[in-house]
């Protein structure tokens, strides 16, 4: 089997890259280790930056997003018993779109499979070969058969636990990482959201986040110990705790109900450089991971893919390798700015036990400064709604 671009990973990054390449007449094959049904069942982030929505529309994926998604023109910071709204529209003319990653994945699979069956799921034991040479290829096992896929380039979109990043020799990789000593305990409930826009809450007991999926599906999180036992958090305890961490005006109007999904998410900041080696190019979680505090993971995967698709298109249409050669440097400039923003938001909103009560007071002072400073609010709005691609 041969193609022009072999794509490892059939999540949003790999699927979008395949779609964009196909629209430009470039052949690709996507190898996904899981079943399509499994990929579609994963509950993931649901906040899209303004640039992400624009790129998805250009790719022909905007119809259902615009019909069913929720445009938010601001977020709310809760601290010291008060709520401060950050008005994206007024500050920077921006917005975010609440539209679940699961829905984006459905749209991508529908678009891919409508024109070409380029997605091979249940591809196991994937291995990358000759990525630094002139004959890159991928071997894998699918439905009991050993397969080989020859290609011009390989795109590693297989997440933080995939094989792509590890295929780059360790001596050529620099990694930067911070694992946080706490996690997020999250629930999904079929209840109306407590607020029409997200609430990020700083509280001496720990961080809380009030989010949503739709008008009757809410997503809530609270900061918890990393080793917390999820069985020790029945629904009633969760609802009592999140209400303690919110200002009274929000806590009083919160509608509670049984959870339909409950999980604990660890938080870490991670970057592996470079994002390319030879004929292999990395995108999304395969090369960077950030805390979900700033809602950036999916958006960064999309921005990486936009850059990579453009670089590959220029190579095939113009014969120019300049954009491919510079892909890692260009992408990393944006990656590090977003890593910084997620690190800042995480440090600002969470209880940091090592900092004690002094740290809590400093957080409250900084939040009060943000609330009183248009410049600080503008910087937050610029970063939250999406930085330029380059």
- The closest of 244, 241, 188, 245 to 218, measured between CA atoms, is 188
User: How far apart are the C-alpha atoms of 166 and 161, rounded to whole Å?
Assistant: 9
DSSP string spanning 251-311? HTT-----EEEEEEEEEEEEEEE-SEETTEEE-GGGTEE--GGGS-HHHHHHHHHHHHHHH
User: How far apart are the C-alpha atoms of 376 and 372, rounded to whole Å?
Assistant: 8
Phi, psi dihedrals of residue 149, rounded to the nearest 5°: -120, 110
Q: Would residue 200 show up in a list of annotated catalytic residues for this protein?
A: yes
- The closest of 280, 337, 287 to 132, measured between CA atoms, is 280
Q: Would residue 316 show up in a list of annotated catalytic residues for this protein?
A: no
Q: Would residue 99 show up in a list of annotated catalytic residues for this protein?
A: no
Tokens read off for 351: 């209880």
Neighbours of 128 (CB within 10 A): 21
- The closest of 276, 269, 329 to 297, measured between CA atoms, is 269
User: How far apart are the C-alpha atoms of 183 and 117, rounded to whole Å?
Assistant: 39
Strands (E), 157-275: 174-189, 199-201, 208-214, 217-225, 259-273
Q: Would residue 36 show up in a list of annotated catalytic residues for this protein?
A: no
- The closest of 257, 270, 268, 265 to 223, measured between CA atoms, is 265
User: How far apart are the C-alpha atoms of 213 and 183, rounded to whole Å?
Assistant: 21
User: How far apart are the C-alpha atoms of 370 and 75, rounded to whole Å?
Assistant: 13
User: How far apart are the C-alpha atoms of 356 and 364, rounded to whole Å?
Assistant: 13
Cα-based angle 383, 308, 179 (whole degrees, multiple of 5): 50
Q: Could you say which of 50, 277, 296, 350 is catalytic?
A: 296
Q: Could you say which of 292, 315, 327, 350 is catalytic?
A: 292
Q: Would residue 384 show up in a list of annotated catalytic residues for this protein?
A: yes
Query: What separation, in Å, do the N-terminal and C-terminal C-alpha atoms of the chain show?
Result: 36
For residues 245 and 205, the answer to whether their CB atoms sit within 8 Å is yes
Q: Could you say which of 99, 180, 200, 221 is catalytic?
A: 200
Q: Could you say which of 12, 50, 51, 72 is catalytic?
A: 72
Tokens read off for 380: 């937050």
Catalytic positions: 72, 200, 292, 296, 384
């Amino acid at each position: 089997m041969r193609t022009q671009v072999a794509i490892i990973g059939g999540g949003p990054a790999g699927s979008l890259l395949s779609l964009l390449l196909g629209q430009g007449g470039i052949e690709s094959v996507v190898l996904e280790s899981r079943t399509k049904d499994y990929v579609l069942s994963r509950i993931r982030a649901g906040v899209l930056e303004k640039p992400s929505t624009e790129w998805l529309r250009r790719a022909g994926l905007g119809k259902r997003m615009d019909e069913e998604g929720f445009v938010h023109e601001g977020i709310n910071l809760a601290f010291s018993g008060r709520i401060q709204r950050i008005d994206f529209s007024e500050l920077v003319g921006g917005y975010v779109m609440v539209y679940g990653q699961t829905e984006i994945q459905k749209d991508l699979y529908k678009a891919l499979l409508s024109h070409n069956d380029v997605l091979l799921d249940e591809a196991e034991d994937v291995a990358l070969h000759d990525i630094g040479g002139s004959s890159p290829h991928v071997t894998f096992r699918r439905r009991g058969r050993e397969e080989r896929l020859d290609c011009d380039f390989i795109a590693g979109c297989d997440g933080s636990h995939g094989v792509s990043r590890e295929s780059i020799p360790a001596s050529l990789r620099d990694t930067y990482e911070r694992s946080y000593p706490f996690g997020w305990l999250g629930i999904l409930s079929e209840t109306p959201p407590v607020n029409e826009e997200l609430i990020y809450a700083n509280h001496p007991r720990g961080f809380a986040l009030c989010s949503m999926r739709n008008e009757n599906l809410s997503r809530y999180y609270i900061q918890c110990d990393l080793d917390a036992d999820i069985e020790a958090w029945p629904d009633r305890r969760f609802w009592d705790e999140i209400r303690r961490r919110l200002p009274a005006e929000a806590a009083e109007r919160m509608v509670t109900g049984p959870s339909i999904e409950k999980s604990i998410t660890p938080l870490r900041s991670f970057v592996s450089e470079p994002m390319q080696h030879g004929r292999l190019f990395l995108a999304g979680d395969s090369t960077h991971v950030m805390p979900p505090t700033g809602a950036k993971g999916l958006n960064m995967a999309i921005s990486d893919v936009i850059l990579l698709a453009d670089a590959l298109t220029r190579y095939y249409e113009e014969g120019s390798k300049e954009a491919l050669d510079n892909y890692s440097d260009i992408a990393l400039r944006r990656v590090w700015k977003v890593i910084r923003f997620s690190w800042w938001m995480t440090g600002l909103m969470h209880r940091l036990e090592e900092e004690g009560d002094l740290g809590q007071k400093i957080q409250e002072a900084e939040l009060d400064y943000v609330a009183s400073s248009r410049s600080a609010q503008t910087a937050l709005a610029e970063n939250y709604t999406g930085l330029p691609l380059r």
